[in-house]
Amino acid sequence: MQAPTLRHWALLGYLVSAWGFAFYLIAIGVEVLAPTTVVWARLFTGALVMLLVMKWRGGSLRLGKGWLVRLVTLSVTGNILPFTLIAWAEQSVPSGQVGMLMALMPMTTLVLGHYFLEHEAMTPLRLAGVLLGLAGVALLVGGDAFLDSPDATLFGQIATVLATFCYTANAIYAKRLPSYDVISVTAASLLTGSVLLLPWVLLHQPPVDMVANWQNIAAVLALGVLGTGLATWVYFTVVSECGPGFLSTINYLIPGLAFLAGVFLLQEPAGWAEWGALALILGGVWMIQPRRTA
């Protein structure tokens, strides 16, 4: 691994921007498109980008025997389910809150990784971080959420949290796979997901006026090309050259950017509960990060 250069910091900035604004783009897309259509477009356009990258790097979709089941599992747990849950949630939950709740993913990874992976010990500090993050979720949801009749917002928030568990399950499964070329497998899994989801989209997407809603269509295409395809390539480039530790800062920056984009671009609510929840969740993310020992 090499020390981060100015180029790596620029790539990190791109990742924060692409993934931070992804929640804003999803919110624009679901105004006129079904959540599954947004997901399909994201997978298909992202797959096209990754296929071009794969060909440029000399990769191949011929992954060998047994990979079809693995690709379906990777696509369902890492793309179809979490992407759909997030897009569905943004029909009732502000995009900034969805981005904020997605900051729980490192915590769900830590909790499940403690039982299913090595080197993921649950220290007292990390446990305190998880509890702090949960306190942020409780503040965001509200203390009377389960006392009254559940509404669409609560179900959307639950769906977002479930999406973090999908990503965690995907990460744990991927770490247990035999050695593979990440670019080829990522391109293949995105393509697999778009194929699996296409019949549902054809059956359930109402007609859309492409001319009148061109801004919504453009947002979804940007989400696929910039926030899925190119961002995935940049992610693996940075990880391979600088290691995953260098990327840990995005766990703080992406939720904050998603929240600010929702507040200032979509005029979403930003009261003391939202700011307090953001502070608690990000504080929890900081506490669960691995500490270097001298």
What confidence category does residue 147 fall into, taking pLDDT thresholds of 50, 70 and 90? very low
Cα separation, 34 vs 207, whole angstroms: 10
Domains contained in the chain, number: 1
Average pLDDT, the chain: 87
> What is the reported pLDDT for 166?
92
Evaluate if residue 292 carries a pLDDT over 60.
no
pLDDT category at 145 given cuts 50, 70, 90 is very low
Q: What type of residue is 97?
A: Q
Straight-line distance from the first to the last Cα atom of the chain, in angstroms, rounded to the nearest whole number: 19
Residue 1 domain flag:
no
**Gap between the Cα atoms of 32 and 218, Å rounded:** 12
Q: What is the pLDDT averaged over residues 88-92?
A: 95
pLDDT of amino acid 118: 60
Q: Is the pLDDT of residue 277 over 70?
A: yes
* Residue 266 placed within a domain: yes
Mean pLDDT of 84-89: 97
pLDDT in tens, 239-273: 888 877 777 778 778 888 999 999 999 999 888 88
Higher pLDDT, 54 or 124: 54
Lowest-confidence segment of 21-30, 70-79, 185-194, 284-293 by average pLDDT: 284-293
Least trusted range by pLDDT, from 67-81, 123-137, 143-157:
143-157
**pLDDT at residue 226, rounded to an integer:** 96
Domain membership flag for residue 34 = yes
pLDDT of residue 248: 75
Residue 200, in any domain of the structure: yes
Please check whether residue 262 is in contact with residue 95, taking contact to mean a CB–CB distance below 8 angstroms: yes
Q: Is residue 294 part of a domain?
A: no
- CB atoms under 10 Å from CB of 230, counted, come to 18
- Asked whether residue 68 is assigned to any structural domain, the reply reads yes
Would you say residue 74 lies in a domain?
Answer: yes
Cα–Cα distance between 20 and 129 in angstroms, integer? 22
Burial of 181 by CB count in 10 Å (0-12 exposed, 13-18 middle, 19+ buried)?
middle
Residue 293 in any domain: the answer is: no
Q: Among 24-28, 54-58, 284-288, name the one with the lowest average pLDDT.
A: 284-288
Domain carrying residue 84: 6-288
- Which pLDDT score is estimated for 148? 53
* pLDDT tens sequence across 128-144: 887 888 788 778 776 54
